[in-house]
Amino acid sequence: MDIDAKVTIIHIVGGIIAALLSFALTTGLIMGINNEAYAILLALVVLYISGQVSEKIFSKEAVGGIKGWLWSGIVPFLFIWIVVWVLLFNINPVPPITV
């Protein structure tokens, strides 16, 4: 398996983890926090960590710099993160807020 595929797999796993954490933050499962902005910020942190892990495992030159990281890392991460987050949110929706 080539380096691009391995970087993509690392970011897909990171995207699934970020989606689970985003779902937990959106529904208030983590310390009662119910905020989508925190969920997005947490996903960006997980994206950064995924990028750093792939650069530690492989060299920066092997990853391909920002261009290689964009297409092999960021795009799959964002796609998987959004799809899994929306699926989880639609399977278990938040109850309506009563005023």
Q: What pLDDT does residue 82 have?
A: 94
Q: Is 54 exposed, middle or buried (0-12, 13-18, 19+ CB in 10 A)?
A: buried
pLDDT tens for 32-71 read 777 788 889 999 999 999 988 888 888 877 777 777 777 8
Q: What pLDDT does residue 60 have?
A: 78
- pTM of the prediction? 0.84
pLDDT > 70 fraction of the chain, expressed in percent and rounded: 93
| Residue 92 DSSP code | S
